[in-house]
Structures are given as structure tokens and as C-alpha cells.
Amino acid sequence: MNLTARVVVNRLAQQCAYKRIVTFSTKPAEHAVPAQDEPKNVEVPPAAPTQTPAVPPTTPRKPIIPANYRFVYPEFLPDPKVEWRNSIREKLERLDMLERRKQIDLPEFYVGSVLAVTSSDPHAAGKTSRFVGICINRDRCGLRARFVLRNVIDHQGMEVVYELYDPTIQKVEVLRLEKRLDDSLFYLRDALPEYSTFDENMEAEPLEEGAPVPVNDIKVVLRPRPWLERWERQNLRGVANIDQYLKDKHRLSSARVQKPWEKYDMMKHYRSTIAEEEQTEIFAEVHTELHTLELQRKRNKRKRTFLKPKHLA
């Protein structure tokens, strides 16, 4: 009985015993050298720590926006009035303006530059009309940007208002690129006609690439009163003889309405202009496309067409 009980207890102990499970190999690695074969008195130099070169984080490169973009492309800046602002409409308009510029070359020009605009006219003989004149004003923004050209033809002053992104405009040529002393030249309406007379067959005056835009400091001569506006109240720098036709009552009235303190009003300047940070953000969106168009315009300017001679030697 004692032998049988002892056998039963041993079997139960074997079944209930804790078994150790080895999850790794206990065999020596093949490339490892046994301890008895290692040479004595040999110092193994420590392995040099592997230094991984620090890779700087890749940040998107910001485009370098030229400072003259706000003067070359003023229509890309929105209206500073808050009640007329709409960010979604402004972005969509900028996309449409870039698409329009890919279809037609709209060169750089300023108030005072002489332009020639060719537009489609269903009532003209060749279905197109070409008008040459001096730019006397640029206003509005976005797709509604416009400019005014003035010329005296047959002793009659003529002005044409063009929308810059009008699809009927076929070609815009800059015959003379220059600036004037004033931002608006509406006073040419009351000036002598020779200041607004330009030949319809006027040829383009080339300007060296990279040269600054010249400033024409000419001062026009006005005709006697009455004038279309009271030019003595506008602090014009491009007019020579305003005081010649002023009387004491005109000087008193102009002094009464002057506001010399407005040039120190920083809040008024802020409300009437677009902040520089917002200008940078706007031109950063369109800088790549505008720069590509500028390079294409320069290539077209340098390109010379080869004319095959009719009579060979």
C-alpha cells in the first residue's frame, strides 16, 4: 500500500509541476569566439560611436518678393475699406487675373506713361480700334481695375476708359515708360493742348533692361479759369501757374479747407492703405506666376524674328 501511494503521489507531482519555457536560443552564436580561444593580453579598442548627421527640418522656402510689386501690380491689392472686403472673392479674382495675364501681355506702366491699346470694336472697319494716349489715372482693384488714356485729336480732347482685364482688349503697348510728379493727371483737361497731344503713329521708345523708371518733372501750364476742378486745393506739383489765376477769395477759401494735420494722422493712413504684412501675404500667393510671366516677357523682348531675304546674292 505504501509503494502504491508513493507512485501515485510522484505522478501527480510530475503533472502539476511548473514547466519553464525558454523563448530564446541558448546556443552560442556562430561568429562568436569561444572564451578559451581568445588571445590573452590583447586590448580590444572600444567601438567608436556612430554619429548620424543632424538633418535640419525641411521648411518651405519663402519667395523673395520685390519691393516694387505694390507699384507694378497695384490691382492685386484689395480695397482698404473694410465694408467692401471679402477674402474668398479676392482670392478667386486673383486666380482669374493670373489666367487673363497668361492670355495677354499686360506690361508695366504708370500714371504718365504713353500707351497704345488695341481693342475689338464691331463698328470699326477692321473690327479693331487702336488708341494712343497718356495715362492720366489708375484706380479700382481686382477685376474692376481700370485706367484712363487721354489724347488731343483734331483739336479735340478725347479720353477712353479701359478696364485692365477686359477680354475685348487684344494688345497693350507701352510707347514711353515714365512717371509724373502727381498720382493723377486730370488737370491736363484744363492744360494747354500740347501737353496731351501724341502722334497716333508714335513708335516705342526702348528702355534699357534693369534701368529705373524715369520720372518726368515737367510742369504744365493751365489755361485761364474757369477750371473743371479747384486745382489750388489739391497741392499739385506738376502745375506751374496756378497762382497766376487766383484771387484773394480763392486763396482764403483754399486756406479754409486745408487740413495740414492729416499727414500726422496715422489711423487715417492705416485705414486708407493695406498693411505691409497683408501685402506680403497676397503677393506670396501670386509671386511664382507673376515671376514666370515676367521671364517670358523678357524672352519675347529679346527674341528676334529672322526674315528670309527675297533676293539671294
pLDDT at 22 over 90: no
Q: How confident is the model at residue 307 (pLDDT cuts 50, 70, 90)?
A: low
pLDDT per position as a tens digit, 153-193 = 999 999 999 999 999 999 999 999 999 999 999 999 999 99
Q: Mean of the per-residue pLDDT values for the chain?
A: 85
pLDDT at 2 over 80: no
Instruction: Say what the pTM is.
Output: 0.76
What does the buried/exposed string (b/e) look like for 88-104 if buried means 16 or more CB atoms within 10 Å of the residue's CB? eebeebbeebbebbeee
- Edge-first strand order for the sheet with 128-139 is 156-163, 146-153, 128-139, 114-120, 169-176
Which range of 31-40, 59-68, 247-256, 296-305 scores highest in mean pLDDT? It is 247-256
pLDDT confidence of residue 304: 53
pLDDT at 1 over 50: no
Residue 201 near residue 222 (C-beta atoms within 8 A)? no
Mean pLDDT over 118-138 rounds to 95
pLDDT at 42 over 70: no
pLDDT confidence of residue 292: 93
Burial of 209 (0-12, 13-18, 19+ CB in 10 A): exposed
- Looking at 166-309, list the stretches that DSSP marks H as alpha helix, in order from N- to C-terminal side: 248-257, 266-272, 276-302
Q: Which amino acid is at 132?
A: V
H/E stretch holding 151 = strand 146-153
